[in-house]
Structure 1
Amino acid sequence: MVRRVLVLGAGRVAGPCIAHLAKREDVEVHAADRDPSRLEALRFPRVVPRLCGDLSDPGSLVRELRPEVVVNLLPAPTMASVAHACLEARAHMVNASYIKDPLSRLDGAVREAGLLFLCEMGLDPGIDHMAACRTVGEIHRRGGKVAAFWSACGALPDRSSDTNPLGYKLSWSPRDLLGVCRREARFLRDGKETVLPGGEPFRHATLVEVEGLGWFEEYANADSLPYRERYGIPEVRDLYRCTLRYPGWSELVRYLLDLGWFEEGERDLRGRSLWDLTAERVGDAPQEGRKGAAARRLGCPVWAAALAVLEWLGVFSDAPCPLERGSLRDVLERVFLEKLSFLPGEQDLVVLQHRFAVEYPDGRKPETWVSTLVDRGTEGEETSIARTTGLPAAMGTELILEGLALRGVHAPVAPEVFVPALELLAARGLRFLETVLPGRKVPGR
């Protein structure tokens, strides 16, 4: 019997997912996208391309096809509508987005319908959850307690393709990138909750070394607190999840925030230059020059490296705004697209590392358990971020097709999900290096 799977979205992330599923002779993959060039690139057997002029209501296609599983790789705002359509069509769902309301409120209805909505099946979230839960289980099995948990993830250009002064290139949507730059962060420090308001994490960035790769900058990422319960570590005293970048990124973002470049109010931009928008915050600069005026406004020396990067971005230039109407954030998004895109043949890099400070109630000496995943894009083929995001979704779909009994709305923190999924990912080359070090070597805050 042929099993029907519908994949919504045929962009870069979808490629590895669809390619993996198409290898199964018992599966017919329907791939939906509004871009015909994306569909034409899917030259795999048993793949049915479906050109959709409007994916604002992807649920209509779900109701039409009534597949066994829907893999939703569209942006997060579509999750609720697709979920309701899956309920109506009695289809399981897999996605790579965080579980948030109203999706989380559907858990009872999904269970009652005998379905599984397996969410957060990407890299971060996704592989990070699965690897953390596996290690926590092993620590507890050996009689240990997790005193501290530190998790870092970064999607970056490989050093061989690090060709701009920011040390960053776009492996995901610039709109989403700029959006997360303004969210608050929460984490545990010595058992107490610490909150950094939106934009503040960049003022608390520190340096961290990843063995074999060198030094990175890290800053707190979103809300770490739910992971004490999710990962089954009620004993943890320090719990911190962060994002990795090459050094200098946080200072640049702080300056862009201070100069107003994340403002979202729409305005008329006709006849305005990039400097015109920057000058609204720094004022005229007839004597000290534009960089000097910005330095005065930001309280930094005119020779600061981040100011040179801002100059390279063009925010002190007379270049015309790329939009006739929009917000400063819309303009910055266009600037990032122009300046920070990967070129053909360039490689990206994914780094994911967990560190666990382990204590033993029986008096054994404390240890630090380290799990590290390093993956690079395949030059001229698929990017690492596409592979590490698309393959987990494919593995989740496979588990459902193979009879996974879990029901309801779930992240991949149950052993019946993460054990086989990590084995499948390892078979595709996504393996963690596991090391145990003496003493406590988890970065402190």
Structure 2
Amino acid sequence: MKNILIIGAGKSSSYLIKYLLDKSNEEDLRLTIADISTKNALKLINHHKNAKAIILDVFNAFEREKEIKKTDLVISMLPARFHTEVAKDCIRFQKHMVTASYISEEMKALDDAAKEKGLVFMNEIGLDPGLDHMSAMQIIDRIRENDAKMLLFESFCGGLVAPESDNNLWNYKFTWNPRNVVLAGQGGAAMFIQEGTYKYIPYHKLFRRTEFLKINNANYEAYANRDSLAYRSIYGLDTIATMYRGTIRKVGFSRAWNIFVQLGMTDDSYTIEDSENMSYRDFVNLFLAYSPSDSVELKLRSYLKIDQDDVMWEKLIELDIFNPKKKIGLKNATPAQILQKILLDSWTLQEEEKDMIVMQHLFGYEINEKKYQIESSLVVTGENQTYTAMAKTVGLPVAIAALKILKGEITSPGVQRPITKEVYEPILKELEEHGIKFTEKKVPYLGYNPNHVMG
């Protein structure tokens, strides 16, 4: 019998738990789902005989160590900043570990210890990072095997609302951590390289510099991710002329989101006095000049030069942000926290609504002095509010990797990401059985086309 400890039973855990439970009889697995509350875990387990839910405060070292000692492998679905102590326990008690998070400096520091004990610490094995790594490396390795030179790599990914559930003017609903959506792009300039020239986009300009994409005959836009340059060394593309990674949204989202950025509503660096008793309207007025006669609406339109018949204005009205009766209800909140609270009113996925994951890679390469381009695209639609496309594309790679580690099919030890054939080939093959399959086509080599960029 093999024991798996899953720490964290949030939005991304539904397919992860379902996959392992479906395999539990055949593979003789026992799952322990640990969280600060067992409510969601109990719902997902649904009285399955091979699983149990327990309350666990990850900061309680005694309880955490007790559970880790009992298991064979730990899957941490916690926020990235909480992985380190779990990882140190896994080293101490010689347990494999899987996470969907980016490798932090603290995690990287455990690489030698993990290798010394023969432990697989698989990270970045969710959607983005994760599925992006595997699907990109599969094609990059194939191009290299043909002795071709990589010229261009662009990668885009987005969690969106499915067309059948797309019923607001923003064409958007939260399908993962809302806080991460509100804070997206902060912490430094977006950095990338295009045709051999380094490019930087500061945060206050980020949502006005978007790429246009067409995926499965649908139009999208994408804004640049914060650091595309790091992926050159990760993918072995240190001399590549173009490397760009971006986040996908429906066309028009970024221009409207830029309103919040320009007003300062996405700022998370200070708290607002008496935010608990403030109305939505009061919150908007904080960021506008005083006027004894002009309304909040008029001041905002004047400040941001928005016409009353502009769809941008209609998007703001739809969010009900000028309501004088709705209260914030959050004590000592930052502007970003308040904005998140307001957006949750309108952007929460309802029980039977569906989300959608969209990913696209572009690979430009040269062989025999001729240039070619491959376009690889993925669209996955969720089932409902619980079994979302986001949970599927995050949770299934995690679950498949965990089982393959336990079965000795993934053995290379150390702190790693899924960029080797040993890892990505079997996982991508199995994901296809679950409807997660990329469509690939050759397209004319375009290189970087400045006409694709807005602003």
What TM-score results when the alignment is normalised by the length of structure 1?
0.93
Which residue in 2 is equivalent to 1:399?
Answer: 404
1:186-225 superposed matches below 5 A? 186-212=191-217, 214-225=218-229
Give the Å deviation of 1:65: 4.0
> Given the alignment of the two structures, is residue 47 of structure 1 paired with residue 53 of structure 2, yes or no?
no
* Alpha-carbon shift at residue 210 of structure 1 (Å): 1.4
Other-structure match for 1:347:
354
Q: Secondary structure at the match of 1:195?
A: strand
Kindly tell me: are residues 47 and 147 of structure 1, through their superposed partners in 2, closer, same or farther at Cα, counting changes over 3 Å? Answer: same
Q: Structure 1 residue aligned with 2:286, among 255, 280, 288?
A: 280
| In the alignment, structure 1 residue 322 sits paired with structure 2 residue 332 | no
After the TM superposition, which of the residue ranges 327-336 and 316-325 deviates more from structure 2?
Answer: 316-325
Q: How does 1:8-407 map to 2 (within 5 A)?
A: 8-22=7-21, 23-25=23-25, 26-41=28-43, 42-43=45-46, 45-52=48-55, 54-57=57-60, 60-66=63-69, 67-183=71-187, 184-212=189-217, 214-264=218-268, 265-266=270-271, 267-284=273-290, 287-318=293-324, 319-360=326-367, 362-363=368-369, 365-379=370-384, 382-403=387-408, 404-407=410-413
**Structure 1 residue 190: deviation in Å?**
1.9
Do the aligned partners of 1:190 and 1:237 also contact (CA within 8 Å) in 2? yes
2:221 is paired with a residue whose SS is: strand
Quote how far apart the aligned CAs of 1:133 are: 0.3
TM-fit CA distance, 1:53: 5.2
Unaligned regions of 5+ residues in structure 2, if any?
none
Q: Name the counterpart of 1:424.
A: 430
Change (3 A) 1:270 1:394: closer
8 Å CA contact 2:76, 2:99 repeated in 1: yes
**Once structures 1 and 2 are overlaid, which stretch shifts more, 131-140 or 100-109?**
100-109
1:380-416 deviation digits (Å, cap 9, x = unpaired) = 7611100000000011102211212211110111111
Question: Matches of 1:387 and 1:407 in 2, distance apart?
Answer: 26
Counterpart contact for 2:259–2:304, Cα < 8 Å: yes
Unaligned residue ranges in structure 1 (runs of 5+): none
Counterpart Cα distance in 1 of 2:61 and 2:396: 22
What SS does the aligned partner of 1:215 have? strand
Percent identity for Structure 1 against Structure 2: 29
CA contact under 8 A between 2:381 and 2:388: conserved in structure 1?
yes
Deviation at 1:243, TM superposition (A): 0.5
In structure 2, the residue corresponding to 1:146 is in which secondary structure?
strand
> CA 1:234 to 1:271, structure 2 compared with 1: closer, same or farther past 3 Å?
closer
| 2:74 and 2:98 in contact (8 A); partners too | yes
SS of the aligned residue for 2:203 comes to: coil
> Within 2, Cα distance between the matches of 1:97 and 1:307?
37
Deviates more, 1:77-86 or 1:203-212: 203-212
**By how many angstroms is 1:79 displaced?**
1.1
Alignment CA distance shift 1:203-1:225 (3 Å): same
CA contact (8 A) 1:59 1:81 kept: no
Query: Normalising to structure 2: TM-score of the pair?
Result: 0.91
More divergent stretch after superposition (121-130 vs 429-438): 429-438
Question: CA contact under 8 A between 1:291 and 1:307: conserved in structure 2?
Answer: no
Which one-letter code corresponds to 1:3 in the other structure? K
The one-letter amino acid of 1:185's match is A
- What's the offset of the Cα at 1:298? 1.8
CA-CA distance at 1:135 after TM superposition = 0.2
- Specify the code of the residue in structure 1 equivalent to 2:37: D
Further displaced range: 52-61 or 76-85:
52-61
Q: In the comparison of the two structures, how many residue pairs are matched?
A: 441
C-alpha distance in structure 1 between counterparts of 2:41 and 2:85, whole Å = 23
* SS in structure 2 of the partner of residue 326 of structure 1: coil
Code of the aligned partner of 2:360: Q
**1:225 alignment partner AA:** L
Q: CA deviation at 1:99?
A: 0.7
Q: 1:60 Cα shift?
A: 3.7
Partner Cα separation in structure 2 for residue 283 and residue 438 of structure 1: 51
C-alpha distance in structure 2 between counterparts of 1:59 and 1:307, whole Å: 53
- Does 124-133 or 104-113 show the bigger shift? 104-113
Deviation at 1:220, TM superposition (A): 0.2
AA partner of residue 170 (structure 1): F
Distance 1:44 1:236 in 2: 52
Amino acid at match of 1:36: T
| Deviation readout 1:165-190 (Å, 9 max, x if unpaired) | 11110111111211224243211122
- Asked if 2 retains the 8 angstrom alpha-carbon contact of 1:63 and 1:89, the reply is no
Residue 388 to residue 195, structure 1, CA distance change in 2 (3 Å): same
**Preserved contact between residue 376 and residue 383 of structure 1 (Cα < 8 Å):** yes
Query: Match of 1:49, SS?
Result: strand
Structure 2: distance between partners of 1:248 and 1:59:
50
